[in-house]
């Protein structure tokens, strides 16, 4: 969410930013916002002037009441009373005009807020320009992307060999987009989240288990309306939504807070289940446990000084690379282009894992710098030596085991059907070094 003063002073920059995001339909909103802002400020100025006039009239009656009380001459008393009555009538007229000005101010403010919630955040100058994710740019690869000398089955087939997944029962219980994980595969899932938790604690992050439901004011504070409609499940009859990702409730932790500057940066890593609608049809490569309605996740967020946010952005995505490489999974960093950025994001990149079966990379992590957008919406402020300011917020996936499971199983699968357990994960698997299939 942009500062209206910035929009007012830099309309052409805001419009150019909209063009870079290929959202030309929003261009008229810039002029509308400026006009509504002028209307709101004019109504505010009128209201302030009327309040001053009202106070002046009210104060004028004070001495008149004193004179009226002391006066013995009836003609003079009538004259004083007439002045008081005239002032009272003026106060009544003032009140009606004030109510109109305040109503006009509120109406313009509401319309302005609606527009400001839809204008995209100013993207970072380093973001590549492109209309959609097909224009995202590969920046760097980590680890050798190998092609197996044997056929690698689909990930659910690998799991079934370990009696590790039951989607049929989940379908009967919950419908499509759900699953039961069983035995060693379920243990592997839990091992990954535990390892990711300890990995981030080792980086100095504070471990957090957040609320799994959040109120609507937090939802609209952390994401765009389009994202909310595509992702969130609403709790019927209550002002609560199931979280689609835990950074929402973690950033929401600071809503309406004034943070002391010495407490920055705030670095948190969280575990949570996540719930998503995942609207739309998906191809064969996104079935199984790739795109589902419920999954678990380890996340990281940072709340920091504005001048430190790009350095944190760099550190955060590199943490993901380090974690995946510790599990022998080749990855690459993909810079998201302007058209692929959600409206609140300043800069974002995906970490993609190598799929030996598909012989291509697929997304497993997403790291984003949101600038001051969420802070402005949630009214998160910092009190520093030079006054108050809005901090920057960032988030990044540590690990989302459903997709991590796919990458892990494919990259550690052996020709005999067994799966190697990398050294880093062995303590979380009871010392096991290999998973042996049951089928």
Q: CB of 199 within 8 A of CB of 207?
A: no
Position 279 scores a pLDDT of 60
CATH class of 4-116: mainly alpha
SS3 110: helix
**Of 56-70, 291-305, 333-347, the least confident:** 56-70
Position 139 scores a pLDDT of 96
Domain boundary assignment for the chain: 4-116, 133-435
Rounded to an integer, what distance in angstroms lies between the CA atom of residue 298 and that of residue 283?
26
The mean pLDDT value of the chain amounts to: 91
Position 281 scores a pLDDT of 46
Q: What is the CATH number of domain 133-435?
A: 3.30.930.10
- Name the residue among 173, 171, 252 with its Cα closest to residue 210: 252
Mean per-residue pLDDT, 400-409 = 92
CA–CA distances in Å: residue 47 to residues 39, 237, 284, 370: 12, 39, 61, 36
Rounded to an integer, what distance in angstroms lies between the CA atom of residue 81 and that of residue 95?
21
For 274, counting Cβ atoms within 10 Å of its Cβ (0-12 exposed, 13-18 middle, 19+ buried), the class is buried
Q: How big is the CA angle at 68 (ends 64 and 74), to the nearest 5 degrees?
A: 135
Give me the percent of the chain exceeding a pLDDT of 90: 77
Contacts of 96 (CB under 8 A, 6+ apart): none
Per residue in 44-101, pLDDT tens?
Answer: 998 888 888 777 766 655 566 666 666 666 666 666 666 666 666 666 777 788 888 8
- Whether pTM exceeds 0.95: no
Peptide bond between residue 265 and the one before it cis (omega within 30 degrees of 0): yes
The residues that bridge with 348 in the sheet, in sequence order, are 368
For 62, counting Cβ atoms within 10 Å of its Cβ (0-12 exposed, 13-18 middle, 19+ buried), the class is exposed
Are 4-116 and 133-435 equal in CATH topology? Answer: no
Give me the percent of the chain exceeding a pLDDT of 70: 90
- Which has more pLDDT, 177 or 23? 23
The residues that bridge with 292 in the sheet, in sequence order, are none
Mean per-residue pLDDT, 283-297 = 76
């Amino acid at each position: 969410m942009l500062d209206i003063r910035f929009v007012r002073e830099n309309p052409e920059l805001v419009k150019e930013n909209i063009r870079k995001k290929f959202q030309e339909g929003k261009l008229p909103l810039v002029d509308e916002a400026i006009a509504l802002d002028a209307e709101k400020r004019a109504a505010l100025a009128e209201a302030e002037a009327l309040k001053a006039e009202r106070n002046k009239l009210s104060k004028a009656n004070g001495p008149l009441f004193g004179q009226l009380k002391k006066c013995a001459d009836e003609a003079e008393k009538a004259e004083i009373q007439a002045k008081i009555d005239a002032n009272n009538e003026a106060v009544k007229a003032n009140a009606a005009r004030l109510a109109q000005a305040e109503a006009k101010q509120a109406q313009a403010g509401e319309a302005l807020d609606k527009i400001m919630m839809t204008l995209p955040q100013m993207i970072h100058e380093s973001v590549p320009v492109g209309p959609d994710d097909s224009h995202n740019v590969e920046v760097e690869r980590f680890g050798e992307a190998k092609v197996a000398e044997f056929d690698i089955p689909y990930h659910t087939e690998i799991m079934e060999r370990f009696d590790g997944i039951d989607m049929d029962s989940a379908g009967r219980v919950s419908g499509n987009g759900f699953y039961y994980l069983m035995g060693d595969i379920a243990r592997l899932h839990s091992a990954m989240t535990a390892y990711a938790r300890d990995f981030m604690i080792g980086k100095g992050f504070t471990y957090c288990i957040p609320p799994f439901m959040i109120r609507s004011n937090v939802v609209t504070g952390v994401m765009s309306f389009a994202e909310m409609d595509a992702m969130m499940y609403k709790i019927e009859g209550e002002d609560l939504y199931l979280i689609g990702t835990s950074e929402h409730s973690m950033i929401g932790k600071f809503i309406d807070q004034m943070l002391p500057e010495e407490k920055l940066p705030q670095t948190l890593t969280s575990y949570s289940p996540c719930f998503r609608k995942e609207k739309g049809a998906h191809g064969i490569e996104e079935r199984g446990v790739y795109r589902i309605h419920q999954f678990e996740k380890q996340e990281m967020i940072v709340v920091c000084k504005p001048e430190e946010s790009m350095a944190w952005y760099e550190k955060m995505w590199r943490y993901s690379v380090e974690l995946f490489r510790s599990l022998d999974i080749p990855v690459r960093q993909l810079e998201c282009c302007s058209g692929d950025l959600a409206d609140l994001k300043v800069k974002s990149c995906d970490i993609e894992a190598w799929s030996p079966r598909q012989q291509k990379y697929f997304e497993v992590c997403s790291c984003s710098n949101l600038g001051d957008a969420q802070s402005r919406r949630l009214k998160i402020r910092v009190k520093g030596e030079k006054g108050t300011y809005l901090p920057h917020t960032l988030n990044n996936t540590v690990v989302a085991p459903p997709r991590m499971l796919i990458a892990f199983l494919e990259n550690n699968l052996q020709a005999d059907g067994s799966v190697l357990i990398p050294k880093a994960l062995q303590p979380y698997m009871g010392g096991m070094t290999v998973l042996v299939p049951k089928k």
